Amino acid sequence: MHPVRILLTQHVPVNEYPEQMQEWYHSALKELENKTKHYTPLICEKKKPVPLKQYTPKIVKVLEFGRKQGGSKKEQERKRLIHKHKREFKGAVHSARKRKVKELLSSLATQEGEWKTMKRKKRKH
């Protein structure tokens, strides 16, 4: 039995209401009776759901303290190539910086030499 139906039948003094209200009351009760259940009751699942793969942690064995070992050959090769690329990139940046500094110093030296020659010429005249 529906809780609304229980409230309407047991706790509402219908006889004291006017006829129009009594008719509405009876029509509402009939609609509640004719209404079929259109929902499924909630039930608990029998087993716990399996968590998604993206949320399961990836556990890596640490054989030596501070160094990660293991992984597939492909992964080790990838890490080795990344490390090699980083070293080469740092070397290239270092040599480019060295070249730029050398260019700056040479241009400063030529500028200084030109300035000194101009100064000597002024002293002679």
Encode pLDDT of 95-121 as tens digits: 999 999 999 999 999 999 999 999 999
Identity of residue 14: V
All residues at 6 or more sequence positions from 9 whose CB lies less than 8 Å from its CB, including other chains:
29
pLDDT of residue 7: 81
pLDDT of residue 5: 77
Identity of residue 119: K
All residues at 6 or more sequence positions from 14 whose CB lies less than 8 Å from its CB, including other chains:
21, 22, 25
What does the alpha-carbon distance between residue 69 and residue 62 come to, in Å, rounded to a whole number? 6
What does the alpha-carbon distance between residue 84 and residue 45 come to, in Å, rounded to a whole number? 52
One-character DSSP codes across 13-30: -GGGS-HHHHHHHHHHHH
State the Rg of the chain over Cα.
45
Encode pLDDT of 35-93 as tens digits: 766 777 788 878 887 777 776 677 777 666 666 666 788 888 999 999 999 999 999 99
pLDDT at 1 over 80: no
pLDDT at 3 over 80: no
- CA 88 to chain centroid: 32
Encode pLDDT of 12-39 as tens digits: 888 888 889 889 988 988 888 887 667 7
Identity of residue 113: G
Point out which residues pair with 67 in neighbouring strands. 64
Higher pLDDT, 88 or 2: 88
